[in-house]
Amino acid sequence: MDVRRASLLVLLGVLLLGQGGGAQTTSQKLQQLQQELQQQRQLSAAQAKELNRIRRTIQNLSAQQKEALARLDTLAGQVADLENELAVLNTRTALAEQQLADTTSQLGVTTARVERLKGDVREILNLQYRSRSNDYLGLLSQARSLSDLLIRLRYANMAGQYNTRIIANLKDEVATLDAQRAQQAQQTQTLKDIGARRNAALDRLKTRRGEQNRLLAGLRDSEQGQRALAAQRQADRALTARTIDGLITQVTAERQRIEAERQRRLEEERKRREAEARRIRIAQERARQEAIRLAAIRAEQERIAREQAAQRAREAAERARQVARQQAEAQARAQAAREAQQQAAREQQQRAREQQLQREQAALQQRSQQVQAAQDRVTQELTPLPAVSGPLGFPLPGGQVSAPYGSGGSPWVVLAASDGSQAVAALPGNVLAVTYYASLGWVVLVDHSSAISAYFGLAEPLVSVGARVSRGTPLGTVGGSQIIGPQRMAFQYRLNGLAVNPGF
């Protein structure tokens, strides 16, 4: 797999792996949040009172409960790391599958061309075997004048050059075929290796989630455990805004580098597709010329067959006058049968070569359509984003506002819908980040040039980093956050770096 091509798509995965590692306890995180808010002079009396209450609740837990919560923090961080690692591996899998499909398609074109050239070379060898070298001298000796000799010599040399070129083309195409087969084998192995890593990550994730569920079940069995979990959820809610700010700040700082990498990757792909499109056009023109040549050969064969038939009729008539009619007819039938058999063999061989050419043309046409579709996609994705204008699209079709912007001091709006509902892009843009947080679930950030829209609480993402999305493109299913709640998601809109009311 082309690692440079994948670098954009794994960049944020590398940045965000380890984002929930659990090096601090929940109480320490709350204390750090309180200090940061005080330094920024954003801590209201109500917020300070609430943070102190949550901290006291956690501090009053038993040592066993604190240990259980600390273990839950650690597991949550490990689960988040594994989810993000799997997202990176899924992206690499998709890239490897796309590259393998491209190579397989190119291999089909090359195979069809090699089969057609093999037929041409067999015909050349058969012709040389039948004619030997004497026919070359005989052809020249039949010249009626010097100019006729020069014309015959020219056409004989052109035929020789054509034969030499066909054999050289076959050699080149066989080398290309071998290289594509080796590339296909390597890409298949790469895909298997990524699959093995993905399965290992899935096994680790299953183990961590199993331990997490057992620990949660144990805490839920007792009243004290339930109070500990309630305190944990309250702490997670208090830390949510900080988590979101940290994520968006980190991604925004990398936005220029991410966009530059996206543009570089797309430009490389555009050049590669253009080069392949040129090669396909050249091959299609060669195939078209070969079709014309074969048609001319067929027409010439038919003309010769008519002339031979007329000649046979004249010879048969002449023989009939010279020998007994019965003997002449028997000889004529035998000669006609031999010539008919030879003509049938030539026609069958000609049809086989035409069919090989048709298969090559069909493979070229199919590959040309695939390359054109890829070129159109790259051109679209290279087009600059339009300026942000007009109202935002509602990001949860069929849903409604559950908690408006600013509720409880939160800089986002909470939306609710039925199970399985999908969040959609509020504006056209480029996917800037797709990452998983233990408390927030899957988070998707979409870049709109001067604005960023953020979608929190997704259960399953449907897009990957670098994708160009239109207004209304599905981004993921809702209900993936334990603090936002089932059948819900949170939406935030940032204009010039500041969270603003989206207007719904």
Long-range interactions of 237-242: CB distance < 8 A, separation 24+: 237/483, 238/30, 238/33, 238/50, 238/51, 238/54, 239/29, 239/30, 239/33, 239/439, 240/410, 240/439, 240/440, 240/483, 241/410, 241/411, 242/33, 242/36
Q: Looking at residues 354-376, what average pLDDT do you find?
A: 81
pLDDT tens digits along 172-228: 889 999 999 999 999 999 999 999 999 999 999 999 989 988 888 887 887 877 877
CB of 442 closer than 8 Å to CB of 436: yes
- Nearest CA to 459 out of 482, 484, 479 is that of 479
pTM above 0.75, yes or no: no
Confidence band for 460, pLDDT divided at 50, 70 and 90: confident
Reduced 3-state DSSP string for 57-75: HHHCCCHHHHHHHHHHHHH
- Which segments of the chain belong to CATH 2.70.70.10? 400-500
* pLDDT beyond 70 at 233: yes
400-500 CATH pick, 2.40.10.120, 3.40.50.2300, 2.70.70.10, 3.40.50.12780: 2.70.70.10
Residues 6+ apart with CB under 8 A from 463: 431, 434, 444, 469, 473, 474, 475, 476
Q: Which residues, listed in sequence order, are joined to residue 411 by a DSSP beta bridge?
A: none
Q: What is the C-alpha to C-alpha distance for residues 414 and 331, in angstroms, rounded to an integer?
A: 98
132 conformational bin, left if phi > 0, alpha if psi -120 to 50, beta if neither? left
Confidence band for 285, pLDDT divided at 50, 70 and 90: confident
Q: What is the pLDDT of residue 66?
A: 76
* pLDDT beyond 50 at 22: no
Confidence band for 148, pLDDT divided at 50, 70 and 90: low
Name which of 35-49, 97-111, 234-248, 298-312 the model is least confident about. 35-49
Confidence band for 324, pLDDT divided at 50, 70 and 90: low
In DSSP notation, 206-259 reads HHHHHHHHHHHHHHHTSHHHHHHHHHHHHHHHHHHHHHHHHHHHHHHHHHHHHH
